[in-house]
Amino acid sequence: MTLTCSHEGGIISNSSGSLKPQPTVKMGCRARISGSSDTFGNWRINAVNLDHNHETSPSKSRLYRCNRHLSVHVKRQLQVNDLARIPLNKSYNSVVVEADGYENMTCIEKDCRNYIEQLRCLRLGEGDAAAIQTYFSKMQARSPEFYFSMDLDDKSRLRNDMASMHALSCSTRWCLWYILKKLPEKFGYHVDKGSIFGAIHGLVYDSQSTGEFEDGWRTMIDTYELHDNDWLSGLYENRGRWVPCFFKTTFWAGMSNTQRSECMNAFFDSYVHSKTLLK
């Protein structure tokens, strides 16, 4: 077996008259590694040539398919933004900014798009009625105060009559996207602004419990000496209205606190009004 450089060999093109000929990456590079295996399956290196006839960029190896990956933090951020109907390209740009540039990315936009498409397939895997009933049952098991009632036929389908399905929640949420957008305005002057941005994003998207968020928030305040920042103090006092981990036990019908546009409101205005039942 021989592994060669991607610039090995050459390409013969018949498109000499093209106005915009495509550049070739084939440069006859002889860099290669050759190996063979014996009858016992043991491999041995036979020849090594590491001399390339062109410049190399080892740092770009992170973008080869075998090396690309999405961190847990990025997956969580993409998932939350997708539920809020934020376009994928904007979510990806946000991840790039947080990573401080494309050169620090371990994935490309296509990887993020594939992940979101995979999530959407999983969310739509079950039948609507069965999925809703399963979710409501879990919520009821967690909280005795949660009540729901569904009118199903013998095939577990919602009936087309006037029976109601109720899932009550009386909470108000703040727009997480708008809050995070204000960070440059509030801390653009701070010598540690980049670290503060990263800390807040990490707490918002990675905290799995309210206790984890609160402990991390106090650590951040102490680390960057932000005790006198009234804006942060106000956010912390109302953390139950904008931090995602505080909403895990409440049904929101797919709505997210990162909702930053009126497109969903406009969509629903065409179909529902204040007296329309959820069913």
Residue 40 lies in a domain: yes
Q: 166 near 148, Cβ under 8 Å?
A: yes
pTM here?
Answer: 0.39
Non-local CB neighbours of 72 within 8 Å, separated by 6+ positions: 206
Question: Residue 166 gets which letter from DSSP?
Answer: -
Separation between Cα atoms, residue 183 and residue 169, nearest integer Å: 30
Task: Indicate the SS3 state at residue 105.
Answer: coil
274 shares a domain with 227: yes
Q: What is the pLDDT of residues 133-182, one digit of tens each?
A: 778 888 888 887 777 776 665 655 555 463 333 444 445 678 788 888 88
* 275 and 182 inside one domain: yes
- Domain presence at residue 272: yes
Mean pLDDT, the chain, integer = 78
| 100 part of a folded domain | yes
Calpha distance 54→30 (Å, rounded): 10
Same domain, 91 and 8: no
102 and 176 belong to one structural domain: no
Claim to verify: residue 178 and residue 268 sit in the same structural domain: yes
My answer on whether 192 and 275 are in the same domain is yes
In this structure, the chain runs to a length of 279
Taking each continuous run of H as one helix and of E as one strand, the counts in the chain are 10, 3
Strands of the 32-37 sheet, one edge to the other? 2-4, 32-37, 43-49
**CA dist., res. 136 & res. 151, Å (int):** 13
* CA dist., res. 109 & res. 91, Å (int): 9
- Expressed as residue numbers, the domain containing 225 is 169-279
SS3 of residue 176 by DSSP? helix
Residue at 32 is within a domain: yes
Place of tokens 């440069």: 27
Q: How many Cα atoms occupy the beta-carbon half-sphere of 226 within 13 Å?
A: 25
**Count of domains forming the chain:** 3
Residue-by-residue pLDDT tens, the chain, 279 positions: 888 887 887 765 555 555 555 555 678 888 899 999 888 888 899 999 988 888 887 777 777 778 888 988 889 888 888 877 788 888 899 888 888 888 888 888 999 998 888 776 545 444 666 777 778 888 888 887 777 776 665 655 555 463 333 444 445 678 788 888 888 888 888 888 889 999 999 999 888 899 999 999 999 999 999 999 999 999 999 898 888 888 776 666 556 555 555 556 666 677 776 666 544
205 and 275 in a single domain? The answer is yes
Burial-class residue 81 by CB neighbours within 10 Å (0-12, 13-18, 19+): buried
E-strand spans in the chain?
A: 2-4, 32-37, 43-49
pLDDT for 164: 36
